[in-house]
């Protein structure tokens, strides 16, 4: 029997995970799924994830793939996997895909969302998923600044490391206010390390009146991380969708 | 300066607490609030809670009171308390009340809600707050059975212990379906130990077709715990409101 290629859509609460990527001795999402798969496949099985989310980052629509020679129908596989996985990771769906499909390499765009809880009062049921920011924020200015990131450019100033190929294209970058929450949505063909969190940190500086749109442009021009805002905490961030 | 009496409205995620009531060596909601208060008041301060929620049970509107001789305004006290408390307990409001107010003794009614997630698929963001029940449930039958609990009666059959005064009056007992969720709401002048969870366990038996309304009536008549359903898990339960 030939190996089949399976595409998984995965959702997880990142609170108690040291991120997506497998690391010895740590509880990671990839490691946890691979462990469950090893039980089903009877051997070590590698899972390829589309986005390597950091420790504490959540996902509603992470995508991954793995190859295995299984007799199970995909619905049976879905049930078996979810039965073996802990409650904070859920496989939302499984599809059989052509052998050439690679969740990471073939992703054409990714959508992330960042939630800022802009009110003094916060519910104990939401703190794991938002940045709590009780102080005043000028949402209109933040929304204007968010549009500046809508470009194809070198994002070095908004990342923690320097890459050989630091150009990314952002297709969507918008701020929405919904009751007490400020929600930032960004879609791009790819992301540098800490890119969303640094952009959010920069938007927060704009919202506080500590940075101007002009200074955002300057950070882009000089490619200088020191000119951007601080890196916002992981827990407000969620990987929403992967496009292929 | 005379001691003042403060009424607190409290919300908490019960997941990581061994219930409301202070216990040596355990993380409890009462113990956690008393610790924060000791820091503010400069001495041990007892907090009286309206409902002693069990380990794993959540609250959106628990009420408590304490007496202290403080110079702080109530808004300052609210901010100070929340700053000292962990993220999974939040004080929603503080009111000064007459010296005679006792959160437990003066409660005239309490409202609890129980959430049942009735779908195979469950989000990793909801598992802490619901009972996951993927199998079929006859919601109409459950709604009919829920009405049987709308009475003033001896609830011994629906509790884990036998009390001298086991009569309670239930003012509201209803089942609502909302997308994948079945929500049970109950309001009564008081609750016996595990009473809501045993009623929910009984309603689940009805929903599965394992118990009839007649058998519910029989459990009431014979006051026999063995005739009721099993105790439903704590995590689906939430204390919604206390009436005075």
ipTM surpassing 0.90: no
Residues of B in contact with A120 (CB under 8 A): 79
Cα–Cα distance measured from residue B62 to residue B94, given in angstroms and rounded to the nearest whole number: 12
CATH of B109-243, one of 3.40.50.300, 3.30.70.20, 3.40.630.30, 3.30.70.660: 3.30.70.660
* Domain range summary for chain B, segments of one domain joined by +: 4-97, 109-243
Return the active site residues of A: 54
Q: Where residue A236 falls among pLDDT bands split at 50, 70, 90?
A: very high
Tokens standing for A116?
């800022």
Nearest to B124 among A13, A79, A122 (CB): A13
Tell me which of B79, B125, B126, B135 to substitute to probe the interface with A (most A C-beta atoms closer than 10 Å): B125
Closest residue in A to B122 (Cα–Cα): A90
CATH of A4-97, one of 3.30.420.240, 3.20.20.30, 3.90.226.10, 3.30.70.580: 3.30.70.580
Average pLDDT (A161-178) is 93
B223 closest CA partner among B177, B142, B155: B155
Residues of A in contact with B128 (CB under 8 A): 87
Tokens standing for A114?
């960042």
What's the DSSP call for residue A210?
S
Rounded to 5 degrees, what are φ and ψ at A52? -90, 85
User: Is the per-residue pLDDT at B1 higher than 70?
Assistant: no
Instruction: Tell me whether domains A4-97 and A109-243 share a fold.
Output: yes
Residues of B in contact with A16 (CB under 8 A): none
Contact A79 B120 (CB under 8 A): yes
Q: Residues B103-145: pLDDT tens digits? A: 999 999 999 999 999 999 899 999 999 999 999 999 999 999 9
Cα–Cα distance measured from residue A171 to residue A187, given in angstroms and rounded to the nearest whole number: 5
Average pLDDT (B6-34) is 97
The A-side interface with B (CB below 8 A) comprises 11-13, 58, 79, 87-90, 92, 120-125, 127-129
Check if B54 is active-site: yes
């Amino acid at each position: 029997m030939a190996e089949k290629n399976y595409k998984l859509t995965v959702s997880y609460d990142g609170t108690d995970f040291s991120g997506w990527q497998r690391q010895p001795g740590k509880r990671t999402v990839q490691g946890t799924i691979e462990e469950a798969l090893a039980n089903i496949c009877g051997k070590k099985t590698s899972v390829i994830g589309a986005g390597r989310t950091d420790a504490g980052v959540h996902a509603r629509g992470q995508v991954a793939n793995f190859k295995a020679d299984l007799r199970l129908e995909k619905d049976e596989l879905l049930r078996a996997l979810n039965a073996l996985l802990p409650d904070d990771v859920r496989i939302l769906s499984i599809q059989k895909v052509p052998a050439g499909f690679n969740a990471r390499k073939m992703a054409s765009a990714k959508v992330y969302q960042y939630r800022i809880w802009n009110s003094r009062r916060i519910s104990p049921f939401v703190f794991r998923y938002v940045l709590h920011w009780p102080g005043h924020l000028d949402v209109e200015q933040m929304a204007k600044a968010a549009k500046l990131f809508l470009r194809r450019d070198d994002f070095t100033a908004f990342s923690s490391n320097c890459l050989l190929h630091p150009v990314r294209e952002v297709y969507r970058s918008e701020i929405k206010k919904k009751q007490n929450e400020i929600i930032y949505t960004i879609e791009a063909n790819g992301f540098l390390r800490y890119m969303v969190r640094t952009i959010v940190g920069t938007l927060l500086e704009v919202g506080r009146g500590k940075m101007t749109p002009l200074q955002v442009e300057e950070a882009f021009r000089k490619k200088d991380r020191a000119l951007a805002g601080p890196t916002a905490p992981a827990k407000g961030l969620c990987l929403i969708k992967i496009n292929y």
